[in-house]
Structure 1
Amino acid sequence: MGLPKYIINFDELTDQLRKDLLRLIDDAMKDKYPQLDTGDVKALLSQIEGLLPDEKYKGLKNKIEQFILGKYTGVQKVHGALLDIPAIISDYKQDFVFDKDVFLTGLHLNQTGWKKDDRYSLVIDKNKIIDSATTKEIGEHKYFNTFYKINANTPVSFILHNNSGNSRQTLIDLEYLEGKEATIDPEAPESPDINDIPNDWDIAVRIQWEENSPCDVDLHGIIGDMHVCYWNKSYDGFYLNWDYREHITNNNPEIISVKGYYNKTLEIYVHDFNGEPLKDPVNIKIYEKRLYGVILLKEYNIKVENSSSLGYGICSIDLKTKKITDIFVRKNLFE
């Protein structure tokens, strides 16, 4: 068995790949387009752009350019915010949203009234990039060795965990490179439901919770070592079709759908992601698609409390026989 290796300089891995890619481009195009000058990479890329038949292919040129030239391009910018924290033990959040794709390069944090118990997190589209880090008395700056790509209109949330209950002012600066494009995620139907699932499916699980609620209820599906949820929305034939972060601006359900896996079992869990209280039980429905239409197999109404980070087990579904078994247990879904 060889010794494990730790990569210090990723450029060493990509330099040869860039050279090979340039050679392949040169070999492939010199006979068909002899007028192209491959001695100047930037000029070559400009001519490639001119050859592309449609505007939608220009984004491909930008990606090739970024890889071949081995650098990130964009305008360096800083977006700052000030949080006025009261003397109350709670979590306090500041959201940042960008209208273009950005590369996050760093985070600067400073505050008054430092206490050793306080923590902070940085969450990008519900993925924790910084998880409950300790605050520093004299402020700090975190550099991202690998710039973090953030698509346009994706929320970036700074969260101060005021565990001490001390009042203070917290200053946050997000440093980033503003990119050239705005990646648009495919739009869901205005009010998506079971009949709007875009993929083929045998079993679908639908969760709905109360209207006008800031609560972010998440649906989790597990088949063997495959876990579908907000941070990993699909495998082949296994999908989280829609994920919503609140029910203030919408009242849409979350849906998981499965096609195949007939020798497997699907486990369903529910989790209160942001800890907001719910007055009413959440509603879970399990559907099967048959040749003559969609039928409801089973329905649950589960009271979900927000005092624990554990998820709620709902049921397991045998994907061959469609037998549904209750699994009313609590589970750590983030292990």
Structure 2
Amino acid sequence: MQDDTIVNFDLVLKVLLLPALVFLINTYFSSCKGKCLTVYVRGNGTKILGSSGSLKTSGFCIMSSLPFTGVMIAFFNCLGSWIKQVRELENNLYFNAGRGSVLTSNGTVEMEACIMDGNTKNCGAVSGLTTVVNAISLARLVMEKTPHIYLAFEGAEAFAREQGVETTDSSHFITPRNIERLKQAKEANKVQVDYNTRPIPKDDKTPAPSGDSQLGTVGCVAVDSFGHLAAATSTGGLVNKMVGRIGDTPVIGAGTYANKLCAVSATGQGEAIIRATVARDVAALMEYKGLSLKEAADYVIEQSAPKGTTGLIAVSATGEVTMPFNTTGMFRACATEDGHTELAIW
């Protein structure tokens, strides 16, 4: 299939959105008996063509070309169950995290992840992982088992082995689809920002007009019945990125942040998100300007982050949820225990 493949919108909803939503709801509810309020499934910003309900995708397969991020408002004492859902998404090769991570210019993977507890501001982040099966698990161990916040590359790998974290040969992460993505990016001498948008030349300092830097970054935000908040994000980064490149995901305050007011996980063009300190700015506007979560997130997306580069998911201590984006569209869905469901793109 070619880049101009048109996927029927109704088929996308039936084949991808609803099964993904049902999967998250069923697996979460079955493993956690807490009072789960809401579950969301949200996709990275993507270029959507026209208003007739069709969208342009890369065409390898429906699921591989649509980026998704999960959001959960959940009973925080079920943190193990919540992290398990991130792990499940990392294990799914259709997401740009874990098993499906895109490749560097050397044809290798360098995965990164971050987790933050808003109540204590404890956090853990990892980058440059090549053998760790679940980066989010290692990030949690950095938070809980070390005096540090951030471990990267060989140091992070050594810590993973020390802690008995599951590892595998790096070839496990090299999938045919991502080999093809890298090949296309190299032929164009580009760093691939999004399969549905214009790639960014390596020497181009301006952001792409639309699209996101991460194909299927996995992200979650959570709040428990006491108002305790947490955020987590995991990704493989950019197609054909330079070896050693670190994106926004593991940078506290950029791609991931949580405090006693809100939890935020961002997605999009990593360099733009870092410059705009997207996640922290949402919290700062609430803290210092007294804005609501929606007002703060809308300001950051509309006034701070360059247009066409950023989307975020956020939840407040009172359970308010917002998911703004400045790309053309963003896949998102929600369901509540009372049976309410919602699906949206624009």
Common topology (TM > 0.5)? no
Please indicate the TM-score interval, normalised by the length of the shorter structure.
Answer: under 0.3
Bigger radius of gyration among the two: 1
Bigger RCO of structures 1 and 2 (CA < 8 A, at least 6 apart) = 2
Report the TM-score, using the length of structure 1 for normalisation. 0.21
TM-score, length basis structure 2: 0.21
Normalized per residue, the structure richer in helix is 2
